[in-house]
Structure 1
């Protein structure tokens, strides 16, 4: 039996990195004390969740693996902000390495804000290239949201540190782009590159709207991110539009 107190083993478990857990389990699995057995069970569940997540991520690389045989640089493209009443549309182009080991990437809408922020940092650190396209609310009013989205996507592609040899896009084919493209319906949940782009675009735009909230606090942009929540619409009716509202989107409210 281990001479360590159960509380010490519990602390060791909490402090252990995921890579150390197999050694931790091996060390204490025959301890015999019920309290230690409970901790080992927790560690084993954590390892099983990790195994399932790694399987999910490998499946999420299905499109990339297919095209990595031919191309070194695959750009995942996604947008955020087509629907809001205020603020820009933001796109991202993310080129991931072939040995990408980032876990938990998914459609940004399926992740908590805290998890998106955590993944944003990891993607920025590990990606071959991350680039952003931003098109303003004025430009959206001028050319419509679909064309503005395409324009933002072209910006992101142009700003990429490496020229993508293939683009994986969430549902759309971008006009005026010479690079081969593959449009994937619900691509942010089916492609790791598109999922990564959705996270980068979402965090980037959310941060912009938090900054706008400081300038126009009456609309609570930090909370609603410019989308048409009941609170936002009420504020719009009471105060009228501010400079970042999309005039072509708010005709029913002002």
Structure 2
């Protein structure tokens, strides 16, 4: 019983350590005490293996940033949007400059992450970023100038809020028109660049929060569930209740019963 308690105490003592530090401590304790710690060591070996794989994935997503840093560029902004496809609400863009060499475990294209993971990453990114900016174009702007132009407008607004201004902009395929800064437009960039992935998280979380607020104002449409996208329930609600002020007329005209 005493040995079991000791092992439990050991596990508690390494709980806050990363996997490598925990293993180093476990090996040291085993050598000093002769305790059988095989199960604990196996557990943390699995954790270390998972961490190493995650770090390798993340390092691959730093390739564009590393190339830019090698060329002498210091401030690199990732830019991405959320909300090009929905039937309602704004398109939201974010621009993010991350510190050199930062490792944000689990950072990825926001579409590949759970709601809970995005929320956690949002706090980490906004706390650690050298700079970030949010821009948006509402449903009226989208109807007036189309979704692509509205997306570009929101992105350029987000970049303009950055201090310092970036020396290089990385976007997820979208080419910006009114920014006198070098840019790389990377297809599937939110999966290939940590800077763009960070921007995708900020844009997605910001937009989702806004749409959830609209759910309170327009409860008939279920915005908190579908975030404005064209789900079956959303389209049925439009057919039943018509459109509300945050619907994009150009996106919903085929669903409105006249």
Assess same fold via TM > 0.5.
yes
Query: Could you tell me which of 179, 185, 188 is aligned with 2:187?
Result: 185
> What's 1:46 paired with?
47
Q: Distance in 2 between matches of 1:29 and 1:111?
A: 38
Instruction: Number of aligned residue pairs: give it.
Output: 250
> What's 1:204 paired with?
206
Q: Distance in 2 between matches of 1:4 and 1:27?
A: 18
Query: Could you tell me which of 111, 117, 120 is aligned with 2:119?
Result: 117
Q: Deviations over 1:32-84 (max 9, x none)?
A: 54xx4222211111111111111211111100010112211111010100000
Q: Distance in 2 between matches of 1:24 and 1:59?
A: 30
Q: Which runs of 5+ in 1 are unaligned?
A: none
8 A Cα contact 1:165 1:180, kept in partner: yes
Matches for 1:146-157 after TM superposition, within 5 Å? 146-157=148-159
Shift, 1:4, TM fit: 5.5
8 A Cα contact 1:131 1:156, kept in partner: yes
Q: Distance in 2 between matches of 1:27 and 1:239?
A: 68
Query: Could you tell me which of 121, 128, 143 is aligned with 1:141?
Result: 143
Q: Distance in 1 between matches of 2:144 and 2:30?
A: 66
Question: Is residue 2:21 matched to residue 1:17?
Answer: no
Q: Deviations over 1:67-103 (max 9, x none)?
A: 1122111110101000000000000000111121222
> What's 2:58 paired with?
57
8 A Cα contact 2:220 2:237, kept in partner: yes
Helix, strand or coil for the counterpart of 1:248?
helix
Q: Deviations over 1:147-182 (max 9, x none)?
A: 000100110011112111110010121112111110
Q: Distance in 1 between matches of 2:162 and 2:128?
A: 15
Q: CA RMSD in A?
A: 1.6
Helix, strand or coil for the counterpart of 1:76?
strand
> What's 1:219 paired with?
221
8 A Cα contact 2:212 2:223, kept in partner: yes
> What's 2:240 paired with?
238
Helix, strand or coil for the counterpart of 1:249?
helix
